[in-house]
Amino acid sequence: MLERDGYPAGVPCWVDTTQPDPQAASDFYGSLFGWTFENRLPDDAPVPYLVAQVRGRDVAAIGPPYEGGPSSVWNTYVWVDDADATAAKVKDAGGRVLDPPSDVLDYGRMAVFADPEGAVFCVWQAKSHRGAQVVNEPNSWVFSELHSRNPNGAAAFYASVFDWELVTIGAAGNEFSMFALAGYGDYLKARDPELQGGQEADGVPDGFEDVVAWLIPITDDQPADVPAHWGVTFAVEDCDVSVAKAQDLGATVVVPPFEAPPVRMSILVDPQGAPFTASQYKPDD
């Protein structure tokens, strides 16, 4: 898998988790995924920002909760060319600015927003930090997904902000709603000319090449207090082994491993309360 160095505007590019005890969280995720960590904030900073790495390349990060935000959650960042212009789009489309655009040292410029349903997401205008460098391989981030009670409303909002299109991928009886960004597949194939052949060999459905995120409807059979939210999925070599290991490390299994071709997946909550999904890709099954 090619390593990444930046993303097109409108593509999710980074994930981090806010945790009451970042060091304890790094112990958990380091043991689970084999991540190593380095603090990217100055030594005299009151809190750390621990960047996780695989093979010395950035994959995710752990930091403390921000004022007014949830104590334990995984956050998704979308790459933008202009965070301030994006803030204006968010407000025009009915969203809220929770934390206005601000510079993060020389790493980039970020902002935190909520969509009209209240799902929180972030944007990243890059400087020296150019997003996740390793993705879509075991022990790295593979996808983010929006959980929404109003998919049509969500589609309209994210189309206004990021030019995303809501598409249906897959065969009848095994269909998924996803957000696509026109031209993203061409961008990926220009970086990796062998990508299309590999996807065809794995039976990847038509249209998937432009997908940037999933949309998962919150159905009426789910508890009424489940809010709209963004979630994250990490790739693993063996879902069952990873789930057992996570339990040994103090995680809670919300949904045990199950088949959702072409993946086997499970939903967990880490020891400090942040939900995440573990997904094993099984194209041959």
63 belongs to a structural domain: yes
**Are 152 and 258 members of one domain?**
yes
18 belongs to a structural domain: yes
Residue 196's domain is classified under what CATH number? Answer: 3.10.180.10
**pTM, to two decimals:** 0.94
Nearest to 155 by CA among 143, 167, 170, 144: 167
Q: Which segments in the chain show pLDDT lower than 70?
A: 1-2, 68-69, 171-173, 194-206, 284-285
Q: Kindly list the distances between the CA atom of residue 145 and the CA atoms of 85, 130, 230, in Å, as whole numbers in the listed order.
A: 24, 21, 6
Instruction: Point out the domain boundary residue: 72, 103, 126.
Output: 126
**Are 64 and 191 members of one domain?**
no
**Are 155 and 107 members of one domain?**
no
50 belongs to a structural domain: yes
**Are 277 and 145 members of one domain?**
yes
204 belongs to a structural domain: yes
**Are 17 and 109 members of one domain?**
yes
**Are 174 and 58 members of one domain?**
no
pLDDT score for 195: 54
Report residue 218 as tokens: 């919150």
**Are 226 and 175 members of one domain?**
yes
184 belongs to a structural domain: yes
**Are 121 and 167 members of one domain?**
no
**Are 157 and 112 members of one domain?**
no
257 belongs to a structural domain: yes
Condensed to tens digits (0 to 9), the pLDDT of residues 183-229 reads: 999 999 888 776 554 454 455 566 789 999 999 999 999 888 999 99
pLDDT score for 169: 86
Total count of domains within the chain: 2
75 belongs to a structural domain: yes
Q: Which residue has 């400087």 as its token pair?
A: 127
**Are 269 and 150 members of one domain?**
yes
Strands 263-269 and 252-260: antiparallel
Condensed to tens digits (0 to 9), the pLDDT of residues 116-151 reads: 999 999 999 999 999 999 999 999 999 999 999 999
Nearest to 31 by CA among 143, 139, 138, 137: 139
134 belongs to a structural domain: no
Q: Answer yes or no: are the C-beta atoms of 74 and 231 closer than 8 Å.
A: yes
**Are 154 and 264 members of one domain?**
yes
Domain coverage including residue 151? 141-281
Instruction: Point out the domain boundary residue: 68, 103, 126.
Output: 126
Give residue 93's Cα distance to chain centre.
Answer: 22
**Are 154 and 270 members of one domain?**
yes
**Residue 103 main-chain phi, psi, to 5 deg:** -80, 140
Strands 211-217 and 141-148: parallel
Instruction: Point out the domain boundary residue: 65, 94, 126.
Output: 126
